[in-house]
Amino acid sequence: EENGAAFARQFHQDDPVLDKIDRTFLKRRQGRVTPGGWCARKFSKRKDPCSQWGNVNVLMPGPRAKLFEKLILNLIANETFRSNQCRFQ
């Protein structure tokens, strides 16, 4: 569906864009889940913070997810972004 939204496209499995978001913004390491939310262990370079889980029914964004949200919100709040946005007809 074409609706003009900036990120309104499907991402395919193993899409390099998602890998870059995981690696750069969310700091997800290869073969692990993204830290935050249900990860109950403190961050350590030697131990996986998600090897111990909290309540899996409650998902809270981790600090990197919050930073990613802030970056996206700053991007779309910029007036230049709106004038350069793709439009489908």
pLDDT, tens digit, for every residue of 53-87?
A: 777 677 677 777 888 889 888 888 877 766 666 66
The answer to whether residue 72 sits within a structural domain is yes
Has this prediction a pTM greater than 0.85? Answer: no
The answer to whether residue 65 sits within a structural domain is yes
Q: How many domains does the chain have?
A: 1
The answer to whether residue 24 sits within a structural domain is yes
Radius of gyration of the chain (CA): 16
- Per DSSP, 25 falls in state I
Domain residues for the domain of 68 are: 16-84
Measured CA to CA in angstroms, residue 13 lies from 17, 19, 67 at distances of 10, 10, 24
Rounded to an integer, what distance in angstroms lies between the CA atom of residue 84 and that of residue 59?
Answer: 34
Would you say residue 43 has pLDDT above 70?
no
- Residue with structure tokens 């900036």? 6
